[in-house]
Chains A and B, each alone.
Chain A
Amino acid sequence: DVKVTQSSRYLVKRTGEKVFLECVQDMDHENMFWYRQDPGLGLRLIYFSYDVKMKEKGDIPEGYSVSREKKERFSLILESASTNQTSMYLCASITSAGGPSNEQFFGPGTRLTVL
C-alpha cells in the first residue's frame, strides 16, 4: 500500500516561529510537491522537487523554503511564520515518468494555525 505521510495532522505555532513540515513517501518517487489549500482557492503549488537536492519555486513560494536531502523526504520550512500562513498544507509525490494514471499521491495534510 503506497504511502505519503506528513509529520503532523495539526500544528499551532506563534508568529515569528520557524516551522518545519515534514513529508515522507515510501514509493521511491522522484518528484515531490508542497501545496497549500485555502477555501475557495483550491490547491496552490508552493515548491516542488524533481530530484534530491533539487528544488523549484511554484506559484506562491514567498515566505517558504524547502529541503530535499534524501529522495524519500521533502521538508517545507516557514522561516518566520505569519498569520497569513495559516492553512492546510498538502504534500504529494509521483514518479518522474508519471505512471499509467499520472496520479499524484497525497499525504493526509497538516492543518497549521499561526497565532
Chain B
Amino acid sequence: SQQGEEDPQALSIQEGENATMNCSYKTSINNLQWYRQNSGRGLVHLILIRSNEREKHSGRLRVTLDTSKKSSSLLITASRAADTASYFCATSKAAGNKLTFGGGTRVLVKP
C-alpha cells in the first residue's frame, strides 16, 4: 500500500525559480524523508524530519511537516538545472525501519 501521495506529479520551472512539492500520508509516523532520483539511477537521501519537528533546512532545501494534516512539503529555492530529477517522500514508523514511498514528483528545471 502506498503511504504517501505526492502533488504535483510533475513540475516544470525556470532556473532560479523555487520548486514546491507536497506529500500526504495516512498513518502515524516516526519520521518523514525526502529522496531524489536522477533518471534511471538509485535514490539519494536529501533530508529527514522527525514527527516532533515542524520545519527543517538543509542548504537550498526546506521541509515542513504538519502531523495534524498528515502532510509535508519540500521547497527547493533558487533551482538549478542540476535539480532536474524525481523527488520522493517516504515515511517510517521507527528508526531503521522500512520506508513507505509516495509516487514521486518529476521536476524539470529549464536553463
Chain A positions 23-47 with a Cβ under 8 Å from a chain B Cβ: 30-31, 33, 35, 40-45
Partner of A42, one of B31, B95, B101: B101
Residues on B with beta carbons closer than 8 Å to the beta carbon of A94? 96
| Residue tally, chain A, CB below 8 Å to B | 33
Which of A42, A98, A108: most chain B Cβ within 10 A?
A: A42
**A102-B101 in contact (CB<8A):** no
Interface residues on B, range: 20 to 34
A residues touching B (Cβ–Cβ < 8 Å)? 4, 30-31, 33, 35, 40-45, 48, 58-59, 88, 90, 92, 94-99, 101-109, 111
- Can you list 18 A-B contacts (CB < 8 A)? A43-B90, A44-B101, A45-B98, A45-B99, A59-B1, A88-B40, A96-B96, A97-B95, A98-B95, A98-B97, A102-B33, A102-B95, A102-B96, A103-B45, A104-B43, A106-B35, A106-B43, A109-B41
